[in-house]
Structure 1
């Protein structure tokens, strides 16, 4: 529990995205409890400036230096400091905030989030790349600095709430749930004709295009397994996935006495965001309340790895260790982007990732020992992905 009556200072890396906007909405509802230190965005200077003014931030940063002039102009007369570029992102992460919401999408979030970890901040982690691309490095840095890592993903938040730190030796299995996405019941041979607009039409969650496609391939769940492996120090063989179409149960922890502890809530990201903002306390969130009687039943099934080969690839990368997860993530980003451009078919996403992983096995990229290593492996995988893609380009109809 917080012992001081002073508002907690919060910095939000990725303030104009869905996670950032929901975080600011929750903060704005309890202004006596929180204040905003820094906010960042990729290049949407006007939207960022509006948020900085509304929430009284002291520092606003755009990652794209070309957007700096627009940000400076939009903040004129406000007294809010403006910055731009990678170094300014790192500065935003190291400003004196009690908690840092790490919600920058992609590899661009690695350096600032790691900088916040190294200064010992409480990190509200919504950036997958930190744990997927550099999990061992990231968690080692947290142990050395004393940083507290609070997961924001609904599944990891569920496990965090269900896992008793004093009973880790008694854990048998940790299970993440997956909705199965929009193609859960499609015939496998029909997936060749799946279109981007169908892939982003998630049945339960409102998300960005890239993460929605990852949900449709179930790569997202594979990435979450890798995150859970590092975040909770759980062996790969003790982690699994259940498809749960209702998205009400977000995760289970099974103990050796037969007890299974789960976390349930309506599928609304404001619930895990609110939990991370207030932990170890809780704050009220304007989310729908769960009515199990109205739901009537909850269903579960094992994932079909023929339908979802991306999940199989992610599990293999987690079990292989080394740089496999970094390669998996980078190749997937390239492939998903091409699919969203209608340049490859839906099944090509997983096939491209598998092609790149096979080359990584041959070349043997090791576990990244530094941020520079992780970024170099990431660049290598993207280059290889571009090299293996040509025969699959422009085949979508």
Structure 2
């Protein structure tokens, strides 16, 4: 009963954590859209996912460039850019644009279902110490029962009156005291509670053996974004490198270009502009250039906001002084986007993902316990190095 109750709590924790996929989806057949139940979706079906909806099944994007919130699967708080051909997982959340996708994995084949099955299996799995306890109990219980029976017989034959009452009481006492109940309950209950607590905190434990061996680890590998950092990019500063444009002029053009973008970094600049009460400008011919930035036109000005590759694409010159400033910011682990008007860059915006106040203390405590802490990140070398040095990590990759 206790085991079933603990297992039930584990299930509720993982369901709450993963926020299961929707019950229905929009299927497209002969260019006609119909709403169908998730269970009715077949491999190869063409589905439409609207803004803010959860992805119904695992598959690949057919049309549309969007951002997907995969935090429930990967733990990364910043949405991921997706383009046609990229994979999407059931239960992840679409951004502000519509896209179509091909269903490739349905039902129990989806990543979401596999994660739930893994946690269920982990909560029911047995640790090596539990297997040993079960083996001991297998021999010990019959012996205890035998001793209890012998106790009953001895008291029934040689005990005072009422002999059967004394015999029964003492036999029960032997069972209560000597029966190895703790051996059979302690470990499975610990596993149940451990897996359940982990699931609530977003930690997926593969099996009981992994949980048992956790105290023997000497190396911890962590992610950067959202783990040691806040996972919420914010504008640190805006710099003008052209006397003809003030910082406000630069910021106004940046937020105006980004108003049509749903990228997390773009949204950070828009929030910053709202705080500064900057009015947006009307942008024409807006275009998002995947992996580089955005371009558009304002009052016959050709605007481009993005990285160095975008500047090369639009043939915008970057002065050596401006490039040196940007390099200095990037070495500190910050993200920098140039703003170009016409054929030259006139300034840049610095965006950073602040390190959590608790990160340095937590990592320091782990290292004092004898653990080596390494960081694996998909960010650039300069950013990874800056964060690693700030937190005094043992290494990064």
Shorter-chain TM band: under 0.3
Give the TM-score of the pair, scaled to structure 2. 0.21
Give the TM-score of the pair, scaled to structure 1. 0.21
Q: Higher helix share goes to which structure? A: 1
Bigger Rg, which one: 2
